[in-house]
């Protein structure tokens, strides 16, 4: 594989759900260490795309390549190996409620990666530490805040050593005051070189992080480019129009990616913007 080969590539993905073409010929690729952000209105197909990229739902047609090699979707063994390399983070965390934080992170290390309990425990502790939760290892999801649950989910995905992470609105289900702690972890991951595709409405945060914005509507990519270009004053892009609409709802500055505002201060909602997460969910 050459340096230029994308880590993950989707070619002409089509997905039909309930008789509707929810993804219409979607193609994208992402190189090592890059961050791409999916934006667009509710129902655009962002979640469907992320789930197709991970084969959680199989596309009806199209191709997915990992490091230049097409994934053989009929082989269970290959799909299992593929999913280990493409981590997925969901809006609603998807933790096992009957397992502690440590056990949530450890279980796949033992069952899928075949590690011994000792080895898996050491790795799980290290990953919980990385997301700032070393002291919460014994707690069950019921006793963790939403932000902590999402960080456990991120630790669990990281423990599998993924080559790319797909994050589907990871802060949408969180109370505003908990969003910042998850965004901080995502920023740390990006700075550590993790390749990520992220669906989010956290515009100023993602503008400061992303190499590219991908704007989707009705199952298609209708615009893509650097946040600086798409959000530049006078750009008149679809992305800009959409982002201004979000800003109106949340009070966030749609241009803030340009002004170097940090995601943490801009988006953590510490000032009690209680409408923000709600607006994010509504969009
Ligand atoms: N299981 C399903 N059956 C029928 N339609 C679905 C199903 N899942 C999603 N859809 C439709 O697919 C479209 C895209 O949904 P989704 O990928 O969730 O969009 P987004 O994440 O951008 O909000 C929506 O119109 C949604 O109603
Ligand atoms: Mg979605």
pLDDT in tens, 82-98: 999 999 999 999 999 99
Q: Which atom of ligand 1 is nearest to the CA of 51?
A: 17
CB of 282 shorter than 6 A to ligand 1 = no
Report if residue 95 sits inside a domain.
Answer: yes
pLDDT exceeding 70 applies to what percent of the chain?
87
What pLDDT does residue 245 have? 85
Which residue, by CA, sits nearest to atom 24 of ligand 1?
A: 43
For residue 48, is pLDDT > 50? yes
pLDDT at 282 over 90: no
Q: Is 43 in the pocket of ligand 1 (CB under 6 A)?
A: yes
Nearest CA to ligand 1 atom 8: 17
pLDDT tens-digit readout, 205-240: 999 999 999 999 999 999 999 999 999 888 888 999
Distance from the first to the final alpha carbon of the chain: 39
Total count of domains within the chain: 1
Residue 281 in any domain: the answer is no
C-alpha 46 – ligand 2 centre gap (Å): 5
Q: What is the pLDDT of residue 279?
A: 37
Residue 137 Cβ inside 6 Å of ligand 1? The answer reads no
Strands 8-17 and 196-199: unpaired
Residues in Cβ contact with 60 at an 8 Å cutoff, skipping those fewer than 6 apart: 14, 15, 16
CA separation for the pair 20, 251 (Å, rounded): 34
Does 3 reside within a domain? no
- CATH code assigned at 26: 3.40.50.300
Residue 65 CB partners (closer than 8 Å, separation 6+): 6, 8, 9, 10, 11, 71
Provide the CB-side half-sphere exposure for 191 (13 A, CA).
7
Residues 6+ apart with CB under 8 A from 34: 195, 196, 211, 212
Does any ligand 1 atom lie closer than 6 A to the CB of residue 23? no
User: Does residue 198 lie in a domain region?
Assistant: yes
Please write the tens of the pLDDT for every residue from 149-165.
999 999 999 999 999 99
Does 46 contact ligand 1 (Cβ within 6 A)?
Answer: yes
Contact by Cβ (8 Å): 173, 134:
no
Residue 185 lies in a domain: yes
The verdict on residue 248 lying in a domain is: yes
In a domain, 214, yes or no: yes
Q: Is the pTM of this model over 0.85?
A: yes
Place 252 in a pLDDT band, splitting at 50, 70 and 90: low
Q: Judge whether 1 lies within some domain.
A: no
48 lines ligand 1 (CB under 6 A): yes
Q: Tens of pLDDT along 29-44?
A: 999 999 999 999 999 9
Output helix, strand, coil percentages for the chain, rounded to the nearest 5: 40, 20, 40
Query: Distances in Å between the alpha carbon of 135 and those of 120, 151, 272?
Result: 17, 13, 27
Determine contact, residues 253/247, Cβ cutoff 8 Å.
yes
* Residues of the domain holding 248: 8-276
């Amino acid at each position: 594989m050459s340096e230029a080969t994308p880590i993950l590539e989707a070619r002409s993905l089509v997905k039909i759900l309930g008789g509707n073409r929810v993804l219409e010929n979607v193609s994208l690729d992402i190189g090592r260490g890059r961050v791409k952000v999916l934006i667009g209105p509710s129902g655009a197909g962002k979640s469907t795309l992320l789930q197709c990229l991970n084969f959680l739902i199989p596309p009806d047609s199209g191709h997915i390549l990992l490091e230049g090699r097409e994934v053989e979707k009929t082989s269970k063994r290959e799909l299992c190996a593929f999913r280990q390399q493409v981590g997925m983070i969901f809006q609603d965390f998807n933790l096992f409620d009957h397992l502690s934080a440590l056990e949530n992170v450890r279980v796949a290390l033992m069952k899928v990666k075949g590690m011994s309990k000792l080895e898996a425990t050491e790795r799980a502790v290290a990953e919980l530490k990385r997301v700032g939760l070393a002291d919460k290892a014994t707690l069950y999801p019921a006793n963790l805040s939403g932000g902590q649950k999402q960080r456990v989910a991120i630790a669990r995905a990281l423990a599998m050593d993924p080559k790319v992470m797909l994050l589907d609105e990871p802060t949408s289900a969180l109370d505003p005051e908990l969003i910042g702690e998850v965004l901080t972890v995502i920023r740390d991951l990006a700075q550590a070189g993790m390749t990520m595709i992220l669906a989010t409405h956290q515009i100023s945060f993602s503008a400061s992080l992303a190499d590219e914005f991908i704007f989707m509507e009705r199952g298609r990519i209708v615009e893509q480019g650097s946040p600086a270009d798409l959000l530049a004053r006078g750009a008149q892009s679809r992305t800009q129009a959409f982002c201004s609409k979000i800003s109106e709802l949340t009070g966030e500055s749609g241009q803030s990616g340009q002004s170097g505002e940090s995601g943490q201060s801009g988006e953590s909602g510490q000032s009690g913007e209680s409408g923000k997460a709600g607006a994010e969910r509504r969009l």
